[in-house]
Amino acid sequence: MGYAYIIYIYMARKTISSEDVLKLMPRLEQTLTEEQRALILQNLRVQTYKKHEMIYSEGDRPHDLLFVIKGKIKIFKGGSGGRSHIIRVALPEAFLGYRPYFAQQDYQTSAEAMESAQIAHLSLHMLSEMMH
C-alpha cells in the first residue's frame, strides 16, 4: 500500500489510523514481531501542527521518533541577530528526532511546520527497549 493511497484515505476520512501510519513505514513494519507491532500501535500518536508552529527547539531533550505524515518541516539552527539558518526541509515519509537521542544529546536544531502538518510520535525509549 503506497503513500498516495494512504493520503487519499486520510483526505476522505480526515483522520489517519495508527495502522495506516505504520503502513507508511514499510522498513520498520516488516521487521516487527506481532508483539512489537501491537506495542507500537498502542503507543503511536499523531499530532497536527499549524503553519509556523514549533515541533521542537534547539536545546530540548528528544523523547520521540518523529515521522512526517503530511506537510513540510523546516529544520533550522538559530543564528546571530535573530536570524536562522535552514539546515534542511523534511517532507512526508521523513524520520526526525532520533539522532540526538541515540547520541545522548539535546536537539542541536529546531523544527517548525512550514505549512499545516501531521507528525506521528513514537517513544524513542520504548523503541530502544524493543531493540534490546
Each residue of 72-113: pLDDT tens digit? 999 999 877 778 899 999 999 999 989 999 899 999 999 999
At 5, the pLDDT band (50, 70, 90 cuts) reads low
Each residue of 28-71: pLDDT tens digit? 777 888 888 888 889 999 999 999 999 999 999 999 999 999 99
57, 22 in Cβ contact below 8 A? no
Query: Is the pTM of the predicted complex or chain greater than 0.95?
Result: no
Which 8-state DSSP code applies to residue 82? G
Q: Report how far residue 18's alpha carbon sits from residue 47's, in angstroms, rounded to the nearest whole number.
A: 12
117, 74 in Cβ contact below 8 A? no
